[in-house]
Amino acid sequence: MILVVDDNRQNVFSLLQLLEMNGFSADAAYSGEEALKKMLKKDYSLVILDVQMPVMDGFELADILSGSQKTKETPIIFLSAVNTDKKFITRGYASGAIDYIVKPFDPDILLLKIKTFIRLYNQARELNTIQQNLLKEIEVRKAAEAEKDDFIAMVSHELKTPLTSLKGYLQLLIMHADNLSKTETLTYLDTANRQANKLNSLVNDLLDISKIENGKLKFNLRNFNFQQLLVNTIRMMKLVNTNCNIILNGSVDTEIEADEMRIEQVLINYLSNALKYSPKNHDITVDAEQSANFVKVTVTDKGIGIPPEMHHKLFDKFFRVDAPGHFQGMGIGLYICAEIIKRHGGTYGVSSVPGSGSSFYFTLPLQKQA
pLDDT digits (tens, 9 = 90+) for 258-283: 989 889 989 999 998 899 888 888 89
Q: Is residue 237 located within the same domain as residue 352? A: yes
Q: Is residue 132 part of a domain?
A: no
> What is the rounded average pLDDT of the residues 306-326?
77
Q: Which residue among 48, 82, 105 closes a domain?
A: 105
H-type helices in 176-225, by residue range? 182-213
Q: Is residue 254 part of a domain?
A: yes
Higher pLDDT, 29 or 68: 29
Distance CA 164, CA 170 (A): 10
pLDDT, residue 57, reads: 87
Q: Are 343 and 282 in contact (CB under 8 A)?
A: no
Q: Give residue 141's Cα distance to chain centre.
A: 14
Helix (H) or strand (E) segment spanning residue 290 = strand 283-290
**What's 201's domain CATH number?**
1.10.287.130
List, in sequence order, every beta strand (DSSP E) within 301-357: 347-352
**Cβ burial, residue 58 (10 Å; 0-12/13-18/19+):** buried
Helix, strand or coil for residue 256?
A: strand
Q: Is residue 57 located within the same domain as residue 170? A: no
Q: Is residue 165 part of a domain?
A: yes
Helix, strand or coil for residue 193?
A: helix
Q: Which residue range(s) make up the domain with 173?
A: 146-213
Q: Is residue 349 located within the same domain as residue 253? A: yes
Distance CA 266, CA 230 (A): 11
Averaged pLDDT of the chain:
85
pLDDT of 122 over the 90 cut? no
> What is the rounded average pLDDT of the residues 162-178?
83
Q: Is residue 112 part of a domain?
A: no
> What is the rounded average pLDDT of the residues 158-174?
80
Distance CA 100, CA 49 (A): 9
pLDDT of 370 over the 50 cut? no
pLDDT, residue 326, reads: 44
pLDDT of 181 over the 90 cut? no
Q: Is residue 100 part of a domain?
A: yes
pTM of the model: 0.53
pLDDT, residue 234, reads: 93
Q: Is residue 360 located within the same domain as residue 232? A: yes
Q: Is residue 11 located within the same domain as residue 91? A: yes
pLDDT of 298 over the 80 cut? yes
pLDDT, residue 85, reads: 77
Interhelix angle for 333-343 vs 260-276, to 10°? 150
Interhelix angle for 226-240 vs 260-276, to 10°? 40
pLDDT of 155 over the 80 cut? no
Q: Is residue 113 part of a domain?
A: no
> What is the rounded average pLDDT of the residues 171-197?
84
Count up the domains in the chain and report the number: 3
Higher pLDDT, 160 or 272: 272
Q: Is residue 169 located within the same domain as residue 277? A: no
Tell me the CA distances in angstroms from 314 to 309, 320, 343, one per residue in order. 10, 7, 18
**What's 291's domain CATH number?**
3.30.565.10
pLDDT, residue 120, reads: 87
pLDDT, residue 330, reads: 65
Confidence of residue 347 (pLDDT cuts 50, 70, 90): very high
Gyration radius (Cα) of the chain, Å: 36
Helix, strand or coil for residue 84?
A: coil
Distance CA 47, CA 168 (A): 78
Q: Is residue 25 located within the same domain as residue 90? A: yes
Q: Is residue 61 located within the same domain as residue 17? A: yes
pLDDT, residue 230, reads: 95
Distance CA 168, CA 176 (A): 12
Q: Is residue 186 located within the same domain as residue 242? A: no
Distance CA 8, CA 49 (A): 11
Residue 23 neighbours by CB distance under 10 Å: 8
Beta bridge partners of 299: 286, 360
Q: Give the residue among 322, 304, 325 at the shortest CA–CA distance from 314.
A: 322
Percent of the chain with pLDDT over 70: 94
Return the minimum-mean-pLDDT range out of 60-74, 180-194, 198-212: 198-212
Q: Which residue among 213, 234, 250 closes a domain?
A: 213
Q: Is residue 229 located within the same domain as residue 209? A: no
> What is the rounded average pLDDT of the residues 278-299?
91
pLDDT of 154 over the 70 cut? no
Q: Is residue 242 located within the same domain as residue 354? A: yes
**Tell me: the pLDDT tens digits for 213-259?**
777 777 888 999 999 999 999 998 888 788 889 999 998 889 999 98
Q: Is residue 126 part of a domain?
A: no
Q: Is residue 124 part of a domain?
A: no
Helix, strand or coil for residue 335?
A: helix
Q: Is residue 89 located within the same domain as residue 180? A: no
Q: Are 202 and 210 in contact (CB under 8 A)?
A: no
